[in-house]
């Protein structure tokens, strides 16, 4: 993404920008609906809403324009509050300007045979639930059916329809594991018209029936896309085969636990999955958070992919327990965590009763943020499970970490400050930390004067799992009570 880019997307598309590549960019989101006129006879007609289909099976359209042009038009729009007709005309003008840019022909290099095959695979993976023939796929690739089959096998080591059936079985596994309907319904949802044929193909591929597969799903070679999910699985009694990790954000306790259970750690970047490394471990099931676009498509072609898991410990426990039929183990885990909470609240009783205020301040490369009291994860632990008090001026923050102007610190003046010097790839917070420490507002704070500022570890505190939970609680209690941190038994 760069300045001047126009992107056209179907409704409902999820966009997750690359934070490093798009930081600071601003723009507009413009929604429109497409209508068509249907003539019933010579005397009557009706208008109905239709779906905007992108050409050539593309997922999105892009174009480039002079940012000043659209800015001037949008600014003109904002000045026409009382001019309904002119505003309507200008709205259409802006929309058609953008659509004209998106539909301008783009000069492309001739498509190679491999690119043509990959294009047909995208089509196959998008419409796998519909009847698809080899001839149809060959037409998408622009090749003769015979030539297409030969090149497809050379690229994927599978015949086109064999690849299609494997992909359909992957999607069926996801629905089976998530108890997403009856066998007959699942078969139809993934493109098999006959449930008996689906069961035969499933058993040919897996060596077991669909029903038996559900019962042994926890014994498959699992790959977790985050150490949080690996921790939860281990606490539930399910040992994943592999886990994707960001080495700089892997706390010591996690590394020890993963090594103890012989979980293969797949190192990756903080902002991009190493898809080849994931494919190399040959997972039979992948579990992770919500992903969209090419990363999601790539993972779904590697194995069945259970996505949409929460990044917060408590709901993620329930989600994974439901997938692997570990509800009883989840209840035991919840009881354990509630016991940790109760023990911590007892030791913090005086601070809680006196409503002494606690602030979590994050230093980023070019800004400062504070932890809101109404979010998940660490926010839930500090302000709801422990019942600690956030400074009144910060109680309005609705997000996980909210923007902070350090000039306002004297008005906030918390009794305790937990300071996170955020760890991020390619980020250096030293200058911002130096600015904060030298700022007059900082040195006027009671927490600073009374040595009540405590540094926290991003890798442990942010997104901690059930094994890290008691460690974080112990550090919170030890800091606020001036106690020495005691050894705590880990589950």
Residue 269 has what pLDDT?
A: 87
> 352-384, pLDDT tens digit by residue?
999 999 999 999 988 999 999 988 889 999 999
Q: Does the pTM of the predicted model rise above 0.85?
A: no
pLDDT of 428 above 60: yes
- Average pLDDT taken over every residue of the chain: 85
> Could you tell me the pLDDT band of residue 490, with boundaries at 50, 70 and 90?
very low
Residue 489: per-residue pLDDT = 37
Mean pLDDT of 343-358: 95
- For residue 65, the number of C-alpha atoms closer than 13 Å in the C-beta half-sphere is 21
Interval 305-323: pLDDT, tens: 998 899 899 999 999 999 9
Round to whole Å and give the CA distance between 63 and 36: 25
Q: What is the pLDDT of residue 410?
A: 94
Q: State percent of the chain over pLDDT 70.
A: 84
- Residue with more model confidence, 347 or 292: 347
pLDDT in tens, 413-422: 999 999 999 8
pLDDT-derived band of residue 486, with 50, 70 and 90 as boundaries? very low
């Amino acid at each position: 993404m760069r300045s001047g880019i126009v992107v056209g997307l179907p409704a409902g598309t999820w966009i997750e920008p690359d934070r490093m590549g798009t930081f600071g960019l601003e723009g507009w989101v413009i929604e429109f609906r497409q209508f068509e006129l249907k003539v019933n006879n010579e005397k009557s007609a009706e208008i109905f809403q239709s779906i905007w289909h992108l050409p050539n099976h593309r997922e999105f359209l892009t174009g480039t324009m002079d940012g000043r042009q659209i800015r001037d038009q949008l600014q003109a729009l904002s000045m026409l509050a009382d001019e309904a007709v002119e505003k309507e005309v200008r709205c259409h003008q802006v929309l058609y300007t953008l659509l004209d840019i998106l539909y301008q022909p783009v000069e492309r290099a001739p498509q190679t045979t491999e690119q043509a095959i990959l294009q047909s695979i995208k089509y196959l993976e998008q419409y796998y639930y519909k009847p698809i023939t080899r001839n149809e796929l060959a037409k998408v690739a622009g090749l003769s059916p015979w030539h297409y089959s030969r090149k497809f096998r050379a690229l994927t080591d599978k015949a086109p329809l064999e690849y299609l059936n494997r992909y359909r079985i992957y999607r069926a596994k996801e629905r089976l594991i998530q108890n997403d309907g009856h066998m007959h319904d699942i078969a139809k949802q993934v493109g098999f018209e006959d449930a008996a044929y689906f069961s035969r193909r499933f058993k040919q591929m897996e060596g077991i029936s669909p029903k038996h597969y559900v019962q042994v799903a926890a014994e498959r070679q699992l790959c977790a896309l985050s150490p949080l999910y690996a921790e939860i699985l281990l606490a539930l009694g399910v040992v994943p085969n592999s886990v994707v990790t960001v080495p700089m954000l892997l706390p010591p306790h996690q590394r020890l636990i993963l090594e103890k259970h012989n979980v293969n750690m797949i190192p990756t970047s903080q902002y991009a999955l190493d898809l080849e490394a994931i494919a190399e471990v040959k997972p039979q099931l992948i579990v992770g958070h919500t992903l969209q676009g090419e990363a999601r498509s790539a993972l779904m072609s590697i194995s069945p992919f259970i996505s949409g898991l929460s990044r917060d410990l408590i709901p993620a426990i329930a989600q994974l327990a439901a997938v692997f039929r570990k509800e009883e183990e989840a209840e035991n885990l919840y009881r354990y965590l509630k016991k940790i909470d109760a023990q911590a609240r007892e030791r913090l009783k005086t601070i809680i009763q006196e409503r002494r205020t606690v602030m979590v301040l994050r230093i980023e490369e070019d800004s400062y943020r504070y932890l809101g009291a109404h979010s998940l994860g660490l926010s839930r632990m500090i302000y709801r499970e422990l019942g600690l008090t956030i400074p009144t001026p910060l109680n309005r923050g609705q997000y996980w970490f909210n923007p902070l102007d350090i000039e306002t610190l004297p008005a906030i003046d918390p009794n305790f400050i937990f300071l996170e010097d955020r760890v991020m790839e390619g980020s250096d917070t030293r200058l911002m930390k130096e600015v904060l420490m030298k700022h007059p507002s900082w040195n006027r704070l009671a927490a600073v004067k009374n040595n009540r500022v405590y540094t926290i570890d991003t890798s442990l505190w942010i997104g901690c799992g059930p094994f890290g939970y008691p460690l974080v609680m112990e550090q919170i209690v030890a800091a606020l009570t001036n106690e020495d941190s005691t050894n705590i038994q880990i589950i």
